[in-house]
A and B are shown apart, each in its own frame.
Chain A
Amino acid sequence: MSAATDSAVDPAATAGLAEPLVEVRDLVIDFPTASGTVRAVDGLSFRLEAGGALGIVGESGSGKSATAYALLDLHRGTGARTGGTVRVAGTDVLGADDTELRRLRGGRAAMVFQDPLSSLDPYYAIGDQIAEVYRVHVKATRRAARERAVQVLDRVGIPDAARRSRARPHEFSGGMRQRALIAMALACEPRLLIADEPTTALDVTVQAQILDLLHELRAETGMGLLLVTHDLGVVAGSVDDVLVMRNGTAVERGAVSAVLDDPREPYTRALLAAVPQVDAARPVVLVKQRTGDERKAAVEAPLLEAVGLRREFGKRQDTVTAVDGVSLTVRRGETLGIVGESGSGKTTLGRMLVRLLDPTAGELRYDGRDIGKLGDKALRPLRRELQMVFQDPVSSLNPRRSIGESIADPLRAAGELSDKAVVERVRELLERVGLEPDWYHRYPHEFSGGQRQRVGIARALAPAPKLIVCDEPVSALDVTTQAQVVALLGELQRDLGLSLVFIAHDLAVVRQVSDRVAVMRAGKIVEEGPADAVYDSPQHAYTKGLLAAVPVLDPVESAVRRASRKGLAEV
């Protein structure tokens, strides 16, 4: 299949063929902003043949989502300016009037969005929302539309679809909601499915299920798929052709196997190199070189030790046990990775380790002393030694204070340094994490996601801690930025002899940084051990399942894994 052929389409060559499902020529999208026009897409052309599957890959700001939106002209009425031609399923999208456009939207081409919770109306039953969309395109009674909704919900694997169709979105899990959105897309049997980061908000095992579902549906209905994602692993197993975007233009395009195996462009190569590989051992550079004595000392004296740590939320019959008897140790200078899916209790555990949350039961020993039940006052001297880096670099910095002030906070709280010394130390820290010392007076909104996370790391480093708990520190970042931040953490650890607890849902990232790994599920640690041992020969069935669900970059391997997942499911 040749979905992403060369941009200069030869009219003579295509004249005899049927019209492609999607044909985009010289697409330009401008967003007017207060500080001038931003060109999100700049002269992009591509096509997708009927029944084909094209992946558009790029980092944030590459214009990939803006392109996907243009296929249904969702920019109409938003103030964005679009130019060029877009033809989808025989409709001239940018030139179509509102009625014609509405017929296309959802009827011939349907879209699945990134965040399945916010993409459904919280006030209505899921079945009713699907039925509503169905009746826009098909003349049907309410009852018939409702039946159709149950039918498609059943098709996408919602158990007990008739009953569950009466549930509202908040009563569904993330994966079920994404299935429901796909069901909505299927309702009118579209010829094209546009999926904009359909699995980004989901856990790996759920992601694998959703991708498998899309794959199946495509085989079954013959519809075309346009998959927009930042994750190269997601495209590997799901599309035929891939288009790599950067700054609104196509950098590289071709068959997915060709692009992933043998990229021609340096940007694609860099992108691929930045993707953490779950089956690659931790790079040697990151491992702290320890002498035999140091190694021995490390083993003998754990810095932080949790014994039967437990945390409950809620009262009486509403009690939820988030962490259910976890025991672990963090040694000096080592990184303990904690992986788990959403709801596994890993964040709760991380917060307890630095005593941001009080454990309900169990012991927490720091340097041999039980700190699990210490009061606020007794904890204060320890606060500086136990620091935390948070997931969301946007909301974890005060937008109304300069980054320098935010980093200075823990220093001022310690109250040991003069004002001048504090500023000096902050400038040092900024430099240490790879930012300009002169950016002291800038505000968080002036920085990119990666830079903000560096600020968060600088703040954690400020009081010279012994242990930092990093809770999903890179999951909001692009792969290249992610690789840089991970490298920074490794470097800091090596230079400062820090102990790190690295919490993440991304198995590959955790492997990349960790000496030892603990796998969490439903508040318990199901498997723990040296990183390589856990990843290369997992003992627990849950760990095996998690690893099998991780998307791989090799399309052939990806197909093999899909088949094996199917085998597992059918057994």
Chain B
Amino acid sequence: MIRFLLRRTVSAAVVLLVLAVVLYAVFYLAPGDPAQLSCGPKCSPAQLVQIREQMGLNDSVYVQFWHFLQGIVTGHDYSTGTGTVHCSAPCFGQSYRTGELVSDILVAKLPATASLAIGAMVLWLLLGIGTGVLSALRRGRPTERLLTGLTLAGTATPVFIIGILLLMLFCSVLQWLPYPSYVPFTDDPQQWAWNLLLPWLALALVESAKYARLTRSSMLETLAEDHIRTFRAYGVSERAIIGRHALRAALTPVIALSALDLGTMFGGALLTESLFNVPGLGQKLVQSVELKDLPVVVGIVLVMGFAVVIANAAADVLYALADRRVVLA
């Protein structure tokens, strides 16, 4: 177990480092002068030179990257011309546009993304597992065909189409829900849930299709296994067989996959956040890319990468906990 954690930590560090290099390279090569962006359109050449010096843009790209990495580990001080701003570790730099510290932006945007991701996951697990179990039990009957059709439609429809349809239906036609605007959980839990309901639903409808299919197939596989036959031959009721034996085995891959998906979601569901106006990492990322705000983009993508790496490790641990025959190494 210790060796497993150690190896995972090392490989996570390598993955994130490679990610940082690639991002840095892409944006360094991309057109546009960061100093110009930072200074704004009405910028005198003298200001530009000063800002260039402050931002360290006169250093070579390697030195700049090195400072960036250093900042993550030890923190960094920025001069603003009149004084200095301390950016404590992990420091991902400053926004070119607003001068805000990237770490502050991340902390500010994370709750919305986390709310969206976790809520959507709960919903898609309920929907997906329920549908999957039902279609496994009703195999070959009309119910199953209907559910298969629905899940297929779910997988095939892009999330923004479902999202727009949901918005049209619930907000403009039926007017049951207000157009979503994010309310932090700490302000008003009820409004928080109410406003997130549609984005949760949109994500869950798309994601649950995958889970329904996975649950269905692993359920059918398990039901065909010898040990299920054993319990049938011992008079155990069908309900207990399904609930205790079949579902238990069928859920193992579902658990592992949902950990991975949650990790991906933490990086921000870009389309969903933009569409439903959820002020999370995804929305911020889209805005920052448009504005060529390199430090913010790098910061958010590193957080995404971190979440995926953590989720991968979590999926492996969960898998091993769910199935004791698996040994982590």
Q: Which residues of A contact B (CB under 8 A)?
A: 72, 74, 101-107, 110-111, 113, 115, 118-124, 132-133, 136-137, 168, 170, 181, 184
- B174 to chain A: closest CB distance in Å? 44
Q: Does B42 contact A (CB under 8 A)?
A: no
Which of B30-38, B127-135, B224-232 contacts the other chain?
B224-232
**Cα A104 to Cα B325 with chains together (Å):** 33
Check B237–A119 contact: CB distance below 8 A.
no
Check A168–B324 contact: CB distance below 8 A.
yes
**Cα A270 to Cα B245 with chains together (Å):** 44
Chain A minimum-CB-distance residue to B322: A123
Check B233–A72 contact: CB distance below 8 A.
yes
Chain B minimum-CB-distance residue to A106: B234
**Cα A136 to Cα B325 with chains together (Å):** 27
Q: Does B45 contact A (CB under 8 A)?
A: no
Check B229–A170 contact: CB distance below 8 A.
no
Chain A minimum-CB-distance residue to B248: A123
Q: Does B81 contact A (CB under 8 A)?
A: no
Q: Does B149 contact A (CB under 8 A)?
A: no
**Chain B contacts for A111, CB-based, 8 A:** 230, 233-234
**Cα A274 to Cα B247 with chains together (Å):** 46
Please tell me which one of the listed residues B226, B235, B322 contacts residue A118 in the complex, with CB atoms under 8 A apart.
B226
26 interchain pairs, CB-CB under 8 A: A74-B232, A102-B235, A102-B236, A102-B237, A105-B233, A106-B235, A106-B236, A110-B233, A113-B226, A113-B230, A113-B233, A118-B225, A118-B226, A119-B226, A121-B230, A122-B227, A122-B249, A123-B324, A124-B245, A124-B248, A133-B231, A133-B236, A168-B324, A170-B324, A170-B325, A181-B230
**Cα A119 to Cα B225 with chains together (Å):** 8
**Cα A102 to Cα B231 with chains together (Å):** 10
**Cα A110 to Cα B231 with chains together (Å):** 11
Q: Does B104 contact A (CB under 8 A)?
A: no
Check A122–B236 contact: CB distance below 8 A.
no
As a 0/1 sequence over residues 69 to 85 of chain B, the CB contacts with chain A under 8 angstroms (1 = contact) are 00000000000000000
**Cα A113 to Cα B230 with chains together (Å):** 8
Chain B minimum-CB-distance residue to A169: B227
**Cα A137 to Cα B233 with chains together (Å):** 12
Check A121–B231 contact: CB distance below 8 A.
yes
Chain A minimum-CB-distance residue to B329: A318
**Cα A181 to Cα B226 with chains together (Å):** 13
**Cα A86 to Cα B233 with chains together (Å):** 16
Task: Please report the number of residue pairs spanning A and B whose Cβ atoms sit closer than 8 angstroms.
Answer: 76
Q: Does B53 contact A (CB under 8 A)?
A: no
Q: Which residues of B contact A (CB under 8 A)?
A: 225-227, 229-237, 240, 244-245, 248-249, 322-325
Q: A123-B249, A136-B237, A168-B324 are in contact. Are A105 and B232 (CB under 8 A)?
A: yes
The interface centre, meaning the residue of B235, B236, B325 with most chain A CB atoms within 10 A of its CB, is B235
Query: With A121-B231, A123-B245, A168-B325 given, can you name 6 additional A-B contacts, CB distance below 8 Å?
Result: A110-B234, A113-B229, A123-B249, A132-B240, A132-B244, A133-B234
**Cα A168 to Cα B234 with chains together (Å):** 19
Majority-rule SS of B interface residues: helix
Chain A minimum-CB-distance residue to B222: A121
**Chain B contacts for A136, CB-based, 8 A:** 234-237
Please tell me which one of the listed residues B226, B235, B323, B324 contacts residue A107 in the complex, with CB atoms under 8 A apart.
B235
**Chain A contacts for B229, CB-based, 8 A:** 74, 113, 119
- B226 to chain A: closest CB distance in Å? 4
**Chain A contacts for B245, CB-based, 8 A:** 121, 123-124
**Cα A115 to Cα B227 with chains together (Å):** 10
Chain A minimum-CB-distance residue to B325: A170
**Chain B contacts for A122, CB-based, 8 A:** 227, 249, 323, 325
Check A74–B233 contact: CB distance below 8 A.
yes
**Chain A contacts for B325, CB-based, 8 A:** 122, 168, 170
Chain A minimum-CB-distance residue to B228: A121
The interface centre, meaning the residue of A119, A120, A124, A137 with most chain B CB atoms within 10 A of its CB, is A119
The interface centre, meaning the residue of A74, A113, A123, A133 with most chain B CB atoms within 10 A of its CB, is A123
**Chain A contacts for B248, CB-based, 8 A:** 121, 123-124
Please tell me which one of the listed residues A103, A106, A121, A132 contacts residue B233 in the complex, with CB atoms under 8 A apart.
A106
**Chain A contacts for B249, CB-based, 8 A:** 121-123
**Chain A contacts for B225, CB-based, 8 A:** 118
**Chain A contacts for B231, CB-based, 8 A:** 121, 132-133
Check A121–B227 contact: CB distance below 8 A.
yes
**Chain A contacts for B230, CB-based, 8 A:** 111, 113, 119-121, 181, 184
- A137 to chain B: closest CB distance in Å? 6
**Chain B contacts for A113, CB-based, 8 A:** 226, 229-230, 233
Check A103–B235 contact: CB distance below 8 A.
yes
**Cα A255 to Cα B88 with chains together (Å):** 89
Check B227–A120 contact: CB distance below 8 A.
yes
Check B234–A123 contact: CB distance below 8 A.
no
- B239 to chain A: closest CB distance in Å? 12
**Chain B contacts for A137, CB-based, 8 A:** 235
**Cα A210 to Cα B81 with chains together (Å):** 87
**Cα A227 to Cα B89 with chains together (Å):** 72
- A186 to chain B: closest CB distance in Å? 12
- B185 to chain A: closest CB distance in Å? 36
**Chain A contacts for B236, CB-based, 8 A:** 102, 106, 132-133, 136
**Chain A contacts for B234, CB-based, 8 A:** 105-106, 110-111, 133, 136, 184
**Cα A198 to Cα B230 with chains together (Å):** 13
**Chain A contacts for B227, CB-based, 8 A:** 118-122
4 tightest CB-CB pairs across the interface, nearest first?
Answer: A106-B234, A102-B235, A118-B226, A105-B235
- A428 to chain B: closest CB distance in Å? 42
**Chain B contacts for A101, CB-based, 8 A:** 235
**Cα A23 to Cα B54 with chains together (Å):** 96
**Cα A123 to Cα B227 with chains together (Å):** 11
**Cα A111 to Cα B232 with chains together (Å):** 10
**Cα A551 to Cα B235 with chains together (Å):** 33
Chain B minimum-CB-distance residue to A125: B324
- B177 to chain A: closest CB distance in Å? 42
Check B235–A104 contact: CB distance below 8 A.
yes
**Cα A136 to Cα B231 with chains together (Å):** 10
**Cα A72 to Cα B229 with chains together (Å):** 11
Check B237–A123 contact: CB distance below 8 A.
no
Chain B minimum-CB-distance residue to A194: B233
Chain B minimum-CB-distance residue to A103: B235
**Cα A103 to Cα B226 with chains together (Å):** 21
- B215 to chain A: closest CB distance in Å? 16
Chain A minimum-CB-distance residue to B225: A118
Chain A minimum-CB-distance residue to B227: A121
**Chain B contacts for A104, CB-based, 8 A:** 235
Chain B minimum-CB-distance residue to A74: B233
**Chain A contacts for B244, CB-based, 8 A:** 132
**Cα A184 to Cα B236 with chains together (Å):** 13
**Cα A136 to Cα B236 with chains together (Å):** 6
**Chain B contacts for A123, CB-based, 8 A:** 245, 248-249, 322-324
**Chain B contacts for A115, CB-based, 8 A:** 226
**Cα A120 to Cα B229 with chains together (Å):** 9
**Chain B contacts for A184, CB-based, 8 A:** 230, 234
- B52 to chain A: closest CB distance in Å? 54
- A263 to chain B: closest CB distance in Å? 33
**Chain A contacts for B240, CB-based, 8 A:** 132
- B1 to chain A: closest CB distance in Å? 14
**Chain A contacts for B322, CB-based, 8 A:** 123
**Chain A contacts for B235, CB-based, 8 A:** 101-107, 133, 136-137
Chain A minimum-CB-distance residue to B233: A111
**Chain A contacts for B233, CB-based, 8 A:** 72, 74, 105-106, 110-111, 113
